[in-house]
Amino acid sequence: MITIEEKLKVFAGLVVGKAQREFEQKLAEVKGKNHEIIEQHRASIRQEGEKIIQDLTRKGQAQKNKAISKAKQEKRKKILNKKQQLMDRLAEDIRNRAVRFTEQEAYESFFAECVAKAVSAFGREDGIRLLATQKDVGRFKEIIYEQGERSGFQREQIDISACREDIIGGIVAGNTQRTLSADCSITALLQEQRQLIGQKLYNVLGKAGDRFE
């Protein structure tokens, strides 16, 4: 015959066994959920890390591009400064040569050609104004009258005046109404040549700069 104590032990065993199984089931469920949460957290950390790396890569590339752009701008600035220095040096040298040329014998024929070219543009005008340096007016007044007469002007229609010395040489012409003008001065000629020289320098220095792009 089974005693009360034996029945209690059997009951306790059943209860404890059931509780143990339920505990183990719950523990397995918790472990599963914890594993899922941990994996999700790991995935989130991985994504965040990849995003940080991508952002740093983009920022690094942007900084690199900015540094390259700055270096190119500085190089172009140096090339332009060099060009300007060369232009100024050449312009000064050419101007000095032009001034010396006005003291040579060959300048007289050059001056006559400048006057002829200038007055030919005003053949239909009632009169003409011709401006030259004070020195050239004193030296070549007759040449100016002669060239004007060859273009059909009478001496009384030719107004000769001294102008500013910075034209260096040559002649500046205009009609008496001051509505038309023709600049055949050495300064105007040098300005045209300066533009051509500047373009050539730009081409040469531009090609040199391309090698550093």
| Domain range enclosing 2 | 1-38
In this structure, the answer to whether residues 34 and 109 fall within a common structural domain is no
pLDDT tens, residue by residue, 143-186: 999 999 998 999 999 999 998 878 999 999 999 888 889 999 99
Residue 60 lies in a domain: no
| Domain annotation covers residue 119 | yes
Q: Is the pLDDT of residue 212 over 50?
A: no
Count how many domains the chain has.
Answer: 2
Per-residue model confidence (pLDDT) at position 209: 53
- Residue 198 within any structural domain of the chain: no
Q: At 156, which CATH number?
A: 3.30.2320.30
3-state helix, strand, coil split of the chain in percent (to 5) is 75, 10, 15
Q: Distance (Å, rounded) from C-alpha 195 to C-alpha 166?
A: 19
pLDDT tens column, 29-46: 767 777 777 778 788 888
pLDDT (average), residues 13-42: 72
Angle of helix 186-210 relative to helix 4-101, nearest 10 degrees, comes to 150
Q: How confident is the model at residue 121 (pLDDT cuts 50, 70, 90)?
A: confident
- Residue 23 inside a domain? The answer is yes
Domain-embedded: residue 141: yes
Distances (CA, A) of 50 to 40, 60, 149, 157: 15, 15, 90, 89
Q: How many percent of the chain have pLDDT more than 90?
A: 34
In a domain, 55, yes or no: no
Does the pLDDT of residue 211 top 80, yes or no? no
**pLDDT class of 69 with cuts at 50, 70, 90:** confident
Residue 128 belongs to some domain of the structure: yes
Rounded Cα gap, residues 185 and 95, in angstroms: 12
The structure's pTM equals: 0.58
For the chain, the distance separating the N- and C-terminal CA atoms, rounded to the nearest angstrom, is 106
| The token pair that represents 168 in the structure block | 């260096």
Characterize 174-213 residue by residue with b for buried, 16 or more Cβ atoms within 10 angstroms of its Cβ, and e for exposed: bbeeeeeebbbbbbbbbeeeeeebbeebeeebeeebeeee
- 145: exposed, middle or buried (Cβ count in 10 Å: 0-12, 13-18, 19+): middle
Q: Tell me if 77 is assigned to some domain.
A: no
